[in-house]
């Protein structure tokens, strides 16, 4: 499995080796050893897994979780094709306001790691696009917030609001600056603390991720 760091601090993309044969194919979309070598700590304890099915043109996000408690994610596309986007909404982060994107599909089966506090969006590029998530926290509706994927200051590579299919929450989501002025964005220091708390034994002993 190959890994590369994205433009948002702490976010990574992973590319597993795919083994095709006359029966189909086999791969491992998540591999602990490769993940730990790239990120510097094990994957978070998984508290929930999610599965979404989207038709072409569906745009979900930009979603983030109130921190604390915060949520880290590992995401891949099990079927179809999507443009997966990570946005740094953590106030005080060295990459605040930056974003990066990864094309996820059923050929390469790339995965993306989202550290605690960052924003996540994806655009379904085909009908019946299936996204699979592992999460460090359970879903709590009042902790789930959004900023607009159409914020001109961000300039995300998404179609305009008339072409994309959005939920009501995403349609009325504020810009990043408006959310910052309202005090609803997570603080970078709080996100780092929440992420460190996912591995209390490793951090207390100076093990993986202790200084990251």
Q: State residue 99 phi and psi, 5-degree precision.
A: -145, 165
Q: Is residue 26 part of a domain?
A: yes
Q: Is residue 196 part of a domain?
A: yes
State the residue range of the domain holding 129.
Answer: 2-201
The helix or strand, by DSSP H or E, that contains position 195, with its residue range, turns out to be: helix 188-196
Residues belonging to the active site: 63, 133
- C-alpha 36/C-alpha 59 separation (Å) is 30
Q: Domain tally for the chain?
A: 1
Q: Is residue 46 part of a domain?
A: yes
**Per-residue model confidence (pLDDT) at position 200:** 67
| Tokens read off for 205 | 């002993």
Q: Is residue 212 part of a domain?
A: no
CB-based contact 130:78 (threshold 8 Å):
yes
Q: What is the pTM of this model?
A: 0.91
DSSP state letter for 141: G
Q: Is residue 206 part of a domain?
A: no
Q: Is residue 207 part of a domain?
A: no
- C-alpha 149/C-alpha 138 separation (Å) is 24
In the three-class reduction of DSSP (H, G, I as helix; E, B as strand; rest coil), residue 148 is classed as coil
**Per-residue model confidence (pLDDT) at position 26:** 94
Note down pLDDT in tens along the chain; length 212 residues. Answer: 999 999 999 999 999 999 999 999 999 999 999 999 999 999 999 999 999 999 999 999 999 999 999 999 999 999 999 999 999 999 999 999 999 999 999 999 999 999 999 999 999 999 999 999 999 999 999 999 999 999 999 999 998 767 899 999 999 999 999 999 999 999 999 999 999 999 865 444 444 343 33
- CATH number assigned to the domain comprising residue 41: 2.60.120.10
Q: Is residue 208 part of a domain?
A: no
- C-alpha 188/C-alpha 88 separation (Å) is 10
Q: Is residue 209 part of a domain?
A: no
């Amino acid at each position: 499995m190959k890994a590369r760091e994205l433009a948002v601090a702490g976010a990574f993309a992973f590319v597993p080796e795919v083994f095709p044969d006359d029966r189909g194919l086999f791969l491992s979309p998540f591999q602990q050893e490769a993940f730990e070598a790239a990120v510097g700590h094990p994957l978070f304890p998984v508290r929930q897994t999610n599965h979404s099915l989207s038709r072409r043109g569906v745009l979900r996000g930009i979603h983030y979780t109130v921190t604390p408690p915060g949520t880290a994610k590992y995401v891949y596309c099990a079927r179809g094709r999507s443009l997966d986007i990570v946005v740094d909404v953590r106030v005080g982060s060295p990459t605040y306001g930056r974003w990066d994107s990864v094309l996820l599909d059923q050929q390469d089966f790339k995965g993306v790691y989202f550290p605690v506090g960052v924003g996540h969006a994806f655009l379904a590029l085909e009908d019946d696009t299936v996204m699979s998530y592992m999460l460090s926290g359970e879903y709590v509706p009042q902790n789930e917030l959004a900023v607009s994927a159409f914020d001109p200051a961000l300039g995300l590579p998404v179609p305009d609001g008339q072409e994309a299919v959005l939920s009501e929450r995403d349609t009325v989501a504020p810009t990043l600056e408006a959310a910052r002025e309202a005090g609803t964005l997570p603080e970078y220091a709080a996100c780092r603390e929440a992420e460190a708390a996912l591995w209390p034994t490793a951090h207390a002993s100076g093990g993986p991720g202790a200084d990251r």
